[in-house]
Amino acid sequence: MAQERKVLKKVSFKLGSLKFDKNGLIPAIIQDYKQKDVLMLAYMNKESLRRTLKLGKTCFWSRSRKEYWVKGLTSGHFQFVKSVAYDCDLDALLIRVRQVGPACHTGNRCCFFRKIR
């Protein structure tokens, strides 16, 4: 876990450069760092991103509850951050994690288990 935090300390990027939406949010795609599968999508604001970088665990902003939440705090299914990247438009994040247990609150490994086709 200490090694995971060291990776995050190497980041020297101004959060103000990111393009947050009118509500101050940015989508964060969460991906398994080894298997590369997309686990979930959640939203962050500047503070939840700061908390994520500081803790080394994902912290999100709940749009429905209007509060911060650390993934795994109640379930034990933490996401330990390995890297944080941003897209070419600066309006989306890709966070690679070491997932403990399922990522989805339904108990599925990922939140994308339903198919349209």
Q: Domains plus CATH for the chain?
A: 2-9+25-99 (3.10.20.810)
pLDDT at residue 16 in the model: 83
Characterize 42-71 residue by residue with b for buried, 16 or more Cβ atoms within 10 angstroms of its Cβ, and e for exposed: bbbbeebbebbbeebbbbbbeeeeeeeebb
pLDDT at residue 15 in the model: 81
| pLDDT tens track for 82-117 | 999 999 999 999 999 999 999 999 999 999 999 999
96 phi/psi in degrees, rounded to 5: -95, 130
Whether pLDDT at 12 is above 90: no
What does the mean pLDDT of the chain come to?
Answer: 92
Whether pLDDT at 6 is above 60: no
CA distance 39 to 105: 11
- Which residue's structure tokens are 């935090």? 5
SS3 category, 17: helix
**What is the pLDDT confidence band of residue 10, given thresholds at 50, 70 and 90?**
low
Cβ(4)–Cβ(98) under 8 Å? Answer: yes
Residue 47 neighbours by CB under 8 Å, 6+ apart: 61, 68
Whether pLDDT at 39 is above 60: yes
